[in-house]
Amino acid sequence: MKKRTEIQRGQIQKKVLIQAPPPVVFAALTDARDLARWFCDRASSDPREGGELNAYWKSGKTGIKGCARYLKIEPNAAVELVWIDDGQNVPPETPTHLLSYSIRSKRGTCEVLMCDRDETTLDEEALALLNSGWNSVLLELKDYCERKARAGKGRPSEES
Protein backbone atom coordinates (compact mmCIF):
# COMPACT_ATOMS: atom_id res chain seq x y z
CA MET A 1 0.00 0.00 0.00
CA LYS A 2 1.47 3.30 -1.04
CA LYS A 3 0.44 6.03 1.35
CA ARG A 4 1.55 9.38 2.61
CA THR A 5 0.77 10.71 6.06
CA GLU A 6 0.78 14.23 7.42
CA ILE A 7 0.07 14.92 11.07
CA GLN A 8 -0.60 18.43 12.25
CA ARG A 9 -2.19 19.67 15.42
CA GLY A 10 -5.62 18.02 15.52
CA GLN A 11 -5.41 16.88 11.90
CA ILE A 12 -4.31 13.71 10.17
CA GLN A 13 -4.02 13.50 6.38
CA LYS A 14 -3.32 10.29 4.52
CA LYS A 15 -3.14 9.45 0.86
CA VAL A 16 -3.65 5.90 -0.43
CA LEU A 17 -3.68 4.38 -3.91
CA ILE A 18 -6.42 1.81 -4.51
CA GLN A 19 -6.59 -0.48 -7.55
CA ALA A 20 -10.32 0.10 -8.06
CA PRO A 21 -12.45 2.63 -9.96
CA PRO A 22 -13.91 5.68 -8.17
CA PRO A 23 -17.50 4.27 -8.09
CA VAL A 24 -16.27 1.27 -6.05
CA VAL A 25 -14.47 3.50 -3.55
CA PHE A 26 -17.40 5.94 -3.32
CA ALA A 27 -19.82 3.07 -2.62
CA ALA A 28 -17.46 1.68 0.04
CA LEU A 29 -17.55 5.07 1.79
CA THR A 30 -21.31 5.65 1.57
CA ASP A 31 -23.28 2.41 1.09
CA ALA A 32 -24.44 0.78 4.34
CA ARG A 33 -23.79 -2.78 3.13
CA ASP A 34 -20.30 -1.87 1.92
CA LEU A 35 -19.49 0.02 5.14
CA ALA A 36 -20.47 -3.07 7.17
CA ARG A 37 -17.93 -5.14 5.23
CA TRP A 38 -14.85 -3.04 6.02
CA PHE A 39 -15.57 -0.20 8.48
CA CYS A 40 -18.06 -1.34 11.11
CA ASP A 41 -20.27 -4.28 12.07
CA ARG A 42 -23.59 -2.64 11.12
CA ALA A 43 -24.50 0.60 9.40
CA SER A 44 -27.34 2.67 8.06
CA SER A 45 -26.53 5.40 5.59
CA ASP A 46 -28.42 8.20 3.85
CA PRO A 47 -25.65 9.53 1.57
CA ARG A 48 -26.95 13.00 0.75
CA GLU A 49 -26.06 16.37 2.18
CA GLY A 50 -27.77 16.47 5.58
CA GLY A 51 -28.26 12.67 5.63
CA GLU A 52 -26.86 10.54 8.44
CA LEU A 53 -24.44 7.67 8.76
CA ASN A 54 -25.04 5.49 11.81
CA ALA A 55 -22.38 2.89 12.58
CA TYR A 56 -22.16 0.18 15.20
CA TRP A 57 -19.05 -1.69 16.31
CA LYS A 58 -19.10 -4.82 18.51
CA SER A 59 -16.98 -4.44 21.60
CA GLY A 60 -17.03 -7.51 23.84
CA LYS A 61 -20.54 -8.09 25.19
CA THR A 62 -21.58 -4.54 24.34
CA GLY A 63 -21.16 -2.25 21.39
CA ILE A 64 -20.24 1.26 20.38
CA LYS A 65 -22.50 3.44 18.27
CA GLY A 66 -21.42 6.42 16.22
CA CYS A 67 -23.40 8.95 14.24
CA ALA A 68 -22.21 11.36 11.55
CA ARG A 69 -23.96 13.81 9.23
CA TYR A 70 -22.98 14.08 5.57
CA LEU A 71 -21.88 17.65 4.81
CA LYS A 72 -20.75 17.09 1.24
CA ILE A 73 -21.47 14.35 -1.29
CA GLU A 74 -20.02 14.44 -4.79
CA PRO A 75 -20.62 11.04 -6.42
CA ASN A 76 -17.34 9.27 -7.15
CA ALA A 77 -15.34 12.34 -6.08
CA ALA A 78 -15.82 13.48 -2.46
CA VAL A 79 -17.42 12.62 0.88
CA GLU A 80 -17.33 14.87 3.95
CA LEU A 81 -18.89 14.06 7.31
CA VAL A 82 -19.13 15.69 10.71
CA TRP A 83 -19.29 13.29 13.63
CA ILE A 84 -22.21 14.14 15.90
CA ASP A 85 -21.42 11.23 18.23
CA ASP A 86 -18.09 9.51 17.65
CA GLY A 87 -18.84 6.56 19.91
CA GLN A 88 -17.62 8.11 23.15
CA ASN A 89 -21.23 8.50 24.40
CA VAL A 90 -20.62 12.21 24.93
CA PRO A 91 -22.15 14.14 22.05
CA PRO A 92 -20.35 17.47 21.70
CA GLU A 93 -22.35 20.67 22.07
CA THR A 94 -20.85 21.86 18.80
CA PRO A 95 -19.61 19.06 16.52
CA THR A 96 -15.95 19.62 15.72
CA HIS A 97 -14.80 16.27 14.32
CA LEU A 98 -14.70 16.42 10.50
CA LEU A 99 -13.78 13.56 8.20
CA SER A 100 -13.33 14.03 4.47
CA TYR A 101 -12.34 11.84 1.55
CA SER A 102 -11.31 13.09 -1.87
CA ILE A 103 -11.37 10.46 -4.64
CA ARG A 104 -9.40 10.93 -7.89
CA SER A 105 -8.66 8.68 -10.84
CA LYS A 106 -4.92 8.45 -11.33
CA ARG A 107 -3.27 6.29 -14.00
CA GLY A 108 -5.61 3.33 -13.75
CA THR A 109 -5.83 3.54 -9.97
CA CYS A 110 -7.80 5.60 -7.54
CA GLU A 111 -6.06 8.07 -5.24
CA VAL A 112 -7.90 8.71 -2.00
CA LEU A 113 -6.95 11.60 0.26
CA MET A 114 -8.39 11.26 3.76
CA CYS A 115 -8.38 14.15 6.21
CA ASP A 116 -9.47 13.71 9.83
CA ARG A 117 -9.76 17.06 11.63
CA ASP A 118 -10.68 17.35 15.27
CA GLU A 119 -10.67 20.66 17.12
CA THR A 120 -10.25 18.81 20.39
CA THR A 121 -6.68 19.14 21.59
CA LEU A 122 -5.05 15.71 21.56
CA ASP A 123 -1.77 14.89 23.22
CA GLU A 124 0.98 13.30 21.11
CA GLU A 125 0.24 9.80 22.39
CA ALA A 126 -3.46 10.03 21.48
CA LEU A 127 -2.61 11.50 18.07
CA ALA A 128 -0.11 8.69 17.42
CA LEU A 129 -2.76 6.11 18.37
CA LEU A 130 -5.30 7.75 16.05
CA ASN A 131 -2.72 7.87 13.26
CA SER A 132 -2.00 4.15 13.68
CA GLY A 133 -5.73 3.40 13.71
CA TRP A 134 -6.16 5.23 10.41
CA ASN A 135 -3.41 3.09 8.87
CA SER A 136 -5.49 0.00 9.70
CA VAL A 137 -8.79 1.53 8.57
CA LEU A 138 -7.41 2.67 5.21
CA LEU A 139 -5.78 -0.72 4.64
CA GLU A 140 -9.22 -2.31 5.21
CA LEU A 141 -10.76 0.15 2.71
CA LYS A 142 -8.04 -0.60 0.15
CA ASP A 143 -8.32 -4.38 0.56
CA TYR A 144 -12.13 -4.32 0.38
CA CYS A 145 -12.29 -2.11 -2.73
CA GLU A 146 -9.60 -4.06 -4.56
CA ARG A 147 -11.29 -7.42 -3.79
CA LYS A 148 -14.63 -6.01 -4.95
CA ALA A 149 -13.11 -4.64 -8.18
CA ARG A 150 -11.30 -7.94 -8.93
CA ALA A 151 -14.49 -9.91 -8.33
CA GLY A 152 -16.22 -7.84 -11.01
CA LYS A 153 -18.60 -6.36 -8.50
CA GLY A 154 -17.38 -2.89 -9.27
CA ARG A 155 -20.77 -1.31 -9.60
CA PRO A 156 -22.09 0.37 -6.47
CA SER A 157 -25.31 -1.06 -5.12
CA GLU A 158 -28.50 0.76 -5.97
CA GLU A 159 -29.70 1.00 -2.39
CA SER A 160 -27.99 2.91 0.39
Asked if residue 131 belongs to a domain, the reply is: yes
pLDDT in tens, 16-43: 999 999 999 999 999 999 999 999 999 9
Nearest CA to 115 out of 95, 98, 136 is that of: 98
Structure confidence at residue 13 (pLDDT): 93
Structure confidence at residue 95 (pLDDT): 54
CATH of the domain at 30: 3.30.530.20
Residue bearing the bigger pLDDT, 46 or 122? 46
Structure confidence at residue 127 (pLDDT): 77
Q: Which stretches of the chain are assigned E, i.e. beta strand?
A: 3-8, 11-18, 42-45, 52-59, 62-74, 78-85, 97-106, 109-118
pLDDT in tens, 104-154: 998 878 999 999 988 776 677 877 888 888 899 999 999 999 999 999 854
Q: How many CB atoms lie within 10 A of CB 61?
A: 5
62-74 and 78-85 beta bridge pairing: antiparallel
State the greatest distance between any 2 C-alpha atoms of the chain, in Å, as a whole number.
45
Asked if residue 155 belongs to a domain, the reply is: no
Structural domain range at position 104: 3-150
Cα 77 from Cα 26, distance rounded (Å)? 7
Asked if residue 111 belongs to a domain, the reply is: yes
Structure confidence at residue 4 (pLDDT): 43
Asked if residue 159 belongs to a domain, the reply is: no
Asked if residue 33 belongs to a domain, the reply is: yes
Q: How many domains is the chain partitioned into structurally?
A: 1
Beta carbons of 142 and 2 less than 8 angstroms apart: no
Asked if residue 58 belongs to a domain, the reply is: yes
pLDDT confidence band for 155 (50 / 70 / 90): low
Structure confidence at residue 160 (pLDDT): 35
Asked if residue 101 belongs to a domain, the reply is: yes
Which residues make beta-bridge pairs with 100? 80, 115
Asked if residue 57 belongs to a domain, the reply is: yes
pLDDT in tens, 58-114: 988 888 899 999 999 999 999 999 998 755 555 555 557 899 999 999 887 899 999
